[in-house]
Amino acid sequence: MENIFDLAVSLIPLLATALGVFVFLFVANWLLLGRYPELGNERRLPRQLAMLGFTVAGAVAIAISLPVGDSTRNQVIALLGVLLSGVVAFSSTTVISNLMAGLMLQVAKPFRTGDFIRVGEHFGRVAERGLFEVEIQTEQRELVYLSNISSVRLKREQIQLVAGAVLFKNVVAACKGLLDGHLLEQGERKDL
Taking only the tens place, the pLDDT of each residue in 22-56 is 999 999 999 998 888 888 777 788 888 899 899 99
Q: Helices H, strands E: what count in the chain?
A: 6, 4
Distance CA 25, CA 23 (A): 6
User: Residue 132's closest CA among 57, 48, 66, 69?
Assistant: 48
> Which backbone phi and psi does 112 adopt, to 5 degrees?
-120, 170
Predicted pLDDT at 192: 47
pLDDT digits (tens, 9 = 90+) for 78-124: 998 898 888 777 777 777 778 788 888 878 888 888 888 888 788 88
pLDDT on residue 9: 83
Q: Which residue ranges form the domains of the chain, and what is each CATH number? A: 2-90 (no CATH), 109-186 (2.30.30.60)
Model pLDDT for residues 134-192, shown as the tens digit of each residue = 888 888 888 888 888 877 766 544 454 455 555 555 555 665 666 666 556 666 545 44
Residue type (1 letter), 19: L
d(CA 136, CA 159): 13
| Contacts of residue 165, Cβ cutoff 8 Å, sequence gap at least 6 | none
* CA nearest neighbour of 159 among 113, 114, 110, 121: 110
Q: Which of the four pLDDT bands, split at 50, 70 and 90, describes residue 18?
A: very high
- Count of alpha carbons within 13 Å of 36, Cβ hemisphere only? 14
How large is the average pLDDT for residues 129-134? 82
Q: Is 68 helix (H, G, I), strand (E, B) or coil?
A: coil
